[in-house]
């Protein structure tokens, strides 16, 4: 499917170096600008691509609809995941990018997990901050060898640690190379998230390969 990237509100910052681009996916109520400073901190050399979620809930942008907190509209999630994959493809052509590494927070981490399960070829890997299991039944996926870092909060009131462990197990069972760290944190981003994500991305050292 071709897509005009002007149809998707997004921010793009070219990378000063040759690192693999980061796809930044914000949380509920965020915008395309939210994660740019975080992206620059954890991947100083990378191009940054940040779409705004196309759904609004009481005026707050999100990447897909939900029926209640933690209860997802899975048909909408599948559809929006396809839309996001099409946007990524169009943005790669437009900006000359290789398959990006996703960096998603909360709702953005959840659609990144869905993308890994439904269209893993679109991503080089992912950092998922405070994600949860996106589908009640995990789709059969081949995520062979893709690196995934999951950062969970031990005191997260939205995502029980057991749920994040289940996601790690599902992604591992599909072949992903998963590192799951549980931090002494709640749902919000902490300094430890920033240092762990930066260190993990540095250790991958994936170059941009358009």
The answer to whether 37 contacts ligand MLT (rule: CB under 6 A) is no
81 binds ligand MLT (CB under 6 A): no
Q: Least distance from C-beta 24 to ligand MLT, angstroms?
A: 15
Q: Report the residue count for the chain.
A: 210
- Does 153 bind ligand MLT (CB under 6 A)? Our answer is no
Query: What distance in Å separates the CA atoms of residue 78 and residue 115, rounded to the nearest whole number?
Result: 9
Of 72 and 87, the one with the shorter C-beta distance to ligand MLT is: 72
Pick 110 or 174: Cβ nearer ligand MLT? 110
Q: How far is the CB of 141 from ligand MLT (least distance, A)?
A: 19
DSSP H helices, the chain, are 36-42, 74-95, 107-118, 161-173, 191-204
- Residue 208 interacts with ligand MLT (CB under 6 A)? no
Q: Respond yes or no: is residue 31 known to be catalytic.
A: no
Q: What six digits make up the tokens of 65?
A: 């609809």
The answer for residues whose C-beta is within 8 angstroms of residue 63's C-beta and 6 or more apart is 25, 53, 54, 55, 80, 84, 107, 108, 110, 111
Residue in 11, 38, 21 with CA at minimum distance from that of residue 101: 21
Contact between 110 and ligand MLT per CB under 6 A: yes
156 is catalytic: yes
Asked if residues 151 and 119 have their Cβ atoms less than 8 Å apart, the reply is no
Q: Which of 15, 24, 28, 48 binds ligand MLT (CB under 6 A)?
A: 28
What letter does residue 6 receive in the DSSP assignment? Answer: G
Least spacing, CB of residue 99 vs ligand MLT, in Å: 23
| Total site size for ligand MLT, rule CB under 6 A | 9
Assess 107 for contact with ligand MLT (CB under 6 A).
yes
Q: List the catalytic residue out of 83, 106, 152, 180.
A: 106
- Indicate which single residue of 106, 170, 174, 208 sits in contact with ligand MLT (rule: CB under 6 A): 106
Q: Tell me: does residue 27 bind ligand MLT (CB under 6 A).
A: yes
Q: Could you say whether residue 139 binds ligand MLT (CB under 6 A)? A: no
Contacts of 201 (CB under 8 A, 6+ apart): 19, 42, 43, 101, 127
Q: Using CA atoms in the order 1, 59, 108, 93, what is the torsion angle rounded to 10 degrees?
A: 30
Active site positions, annotated: 106, 156, 187
Give the binding site for ligand MLT (CB under 6 A): 27-28, 66, 69-70, 106-107, 110, 158
């Amino acid at each position: 499917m071709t897509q005009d990237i002007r149809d998707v509100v997004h921010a793009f910052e070219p990378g000063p170096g040759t690192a693999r681009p980061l796809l930044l996916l914000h949380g509920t109520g965020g915008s395309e600008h939210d994660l740019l400073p975080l992206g620059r901190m954890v991947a100083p050399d990378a191009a940054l691509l940040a779409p705004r979620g196309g759904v609004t809930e009481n005026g707050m942008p999100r990447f897909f609809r939900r029926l209640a907190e933690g209860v997802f509209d899975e048909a909408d999630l599948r559809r929006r995941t396809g839309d996001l994959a099409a946007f990524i493809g169009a943005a790669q052509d437009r900006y000359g990018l290789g398959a990006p590494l996703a960096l998603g927070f909360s709702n953005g981490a959840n659609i990144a997990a869905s993308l890994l399960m439904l269209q893993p070829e679109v991503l080089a890997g992912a950092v998922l901050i405070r994600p949860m299991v996106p589908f009640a039944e995990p789709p059969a996926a081949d995520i062979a060898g893709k690196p995934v870092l999951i950062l969970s909060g031990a005191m997260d009131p939205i995502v029980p640690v057991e749920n994040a462990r289940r996601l790690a197990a599902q992604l591992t069972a599909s072949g992903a190379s998963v590192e799951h760290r549980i931090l002494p944190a709640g749902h919000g981003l902490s300094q430890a998230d920033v240092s762990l994500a930066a260190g993990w991305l540095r250790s991958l050292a994936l170059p941009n390969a358009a």
